[in-house]
Structure 1
Amino acid sequence: MKLLYFSGFSLIGESEIFNEYIIRNDVTASGFSYGAIKLVENIITGAYDSEHFKKRIDKVQLFSPAYFNDKDEKFKRMQLMFFKKDSRAYTDNFVKNCGFSEEEKEKYFSIGAYEELEDLLYYEWNAQKLEIIKKKNIIVETYLGGNDKIINSEEALKFFRQFGDVYFIKEANHRL
């Protein structure tokens, strides 16, 4: 049984922090933050249906999906400008605001690329994308933290509740 998991921005191998929630089987895939975007896009493009991969997925778990639909252009440009100015300081602060401890940061941190940050900031979550997933009979579970400092979890809740179960953990941050 191989876990299909997509890591968040500036992170590698952090899936174990979601052990409380993650379903480890051959037909469930999950992603954290930016990883949720990568997971959804891979399903939409049919990557798992291809001759090469032939992976059946019955359920996706989206952990604090990077939802910036409610942020304006100025906010997004500023984030990219700060990253370009000092990528190490930006990603350090980003991971800290996610709620990772120093020990976790040491274990999972990896400086993300400008293009990845741009992708996650400008990614447009829309009903069409999640309807494609639902039409493939894939169950969508979304996990959100009420004390998230990265995304507006209330706005994300409004959006994702249309497509499946949402677990809103009031006291949790972006890292859940």
Structure 2
Amino acid sequence: MKYFSGFGFKNEKVLFLSYLQRGDFVVAGFSKGAQKAVQEALTMIEQGKRVDTLQLLSPAFFNYLPKEQKHKEILTFVKNKDAYLHFFYKKALYPAKVDIEKFTTEPSLGELKELLFYEWKEEDLQLLQENGVTIEVYLGAKDKIVNADKAKEFFTPFAQVYLINNAGHLLR
């Protein structure tokens, strides 16, 4: 399995073991890592490699946000990175009661820009589907980072979407 970490996270895969499939032909990612997982699966398919399952855990889906709001996020990050990250981790954690300190890392401005301006494309998901890739999307109904309803609406035509009640971004 190939796994990609989320924005500001490292080694957090252990938080999701109950969702993750084990196998050589599985690609998975959490939050920003879900964006990378899609790109990796597409690359593997283009190279003629086998991908059975793509697992997207709380995918960072911001297609619906206006550019102005994305730029505001960036300015807030630039003005006071520590305060931004404190608030970000607080939102990511909600409503879970887990110590995530050992899973956090300091992200760069470039990573935030990549995260916010990544454009999810229906044709990418369609291509994966046409190539026999099973796509699974896991969303927390109480997510404070991603709008779970908008993400569910976008991914449903291409994936098996699991909306987990009483769970936030960490699917807890």
Q: TM-score, normalised by structure 2?
A: 0.91
Q: 1:4 aligns with which of 2, 14, 37?
A: 2
SS at the partner of 2:142? Answer: coil
- C-alpha displacement of 1:23: 0.8
- Residue 146 of structure 2 corresponds to 151
The match for 1:68 is 62
Match for residue 136 of structure 1? Answer: 131
Residue identity opposite 1:111 in structure 2: E
1:103 corresponds in structure 2 to 99
Alpha-carbon RMSD:
1.7
Distance of 1:32 and 1:158 partners within structure 2? 19
Q: Does 1:32 align with 2:30?
A: yes
Q: Tell me, yes or no, if the aligned pair for 1:98 and 1:148 is still in contact at 8 Å.
A: yes
Equivalent-residue separation in structure 2 for 1:128 and 1:56 (angstroms):
19
Name the residue aligned to 2:77. 83
CA contact (8 A) 2:10 2:105 kept: yes
Give the match's secondary structure for 2:13. Answer: helix
Equivalent of 2:20, from 2, 22, 25?
Answer: 22
Superposed structure 1 runs of 4+ greater than 6 Å apart = none
Q: TM-score, normalised by structure 1?
A: 0.89
Question: What residue in structure 2 maps to residue 121 of structure 1?
Answer: 116
In 2, Cα distance between the equivalents of 1:147 and 1:166? 15
Percent of aligned pairs with the same amino acid? 37
- Tell me how far apart the structure 1 counterparts of residues 151 and 61 of structure 2 sit (CA, whole Å): 6
Aligned residues: 169
Whole-Å separation in 2 of the counterparts to 1:102 and 1:170: 18
Query: 3-state DSSP class of the match of 2:99?
Result: helix
CA gap of 1:43–1:121, structure 2 versus 1, over 3 A, is same
What CA distance in whole angstroms lies between the structure 2 residues aligned with 1:87 and 1:55? 40
Displacement of 1:88 in angstroms is 2.4
Between the aligned partners of 1:47 and 1:116, the Cα distance in structure 2 is 23
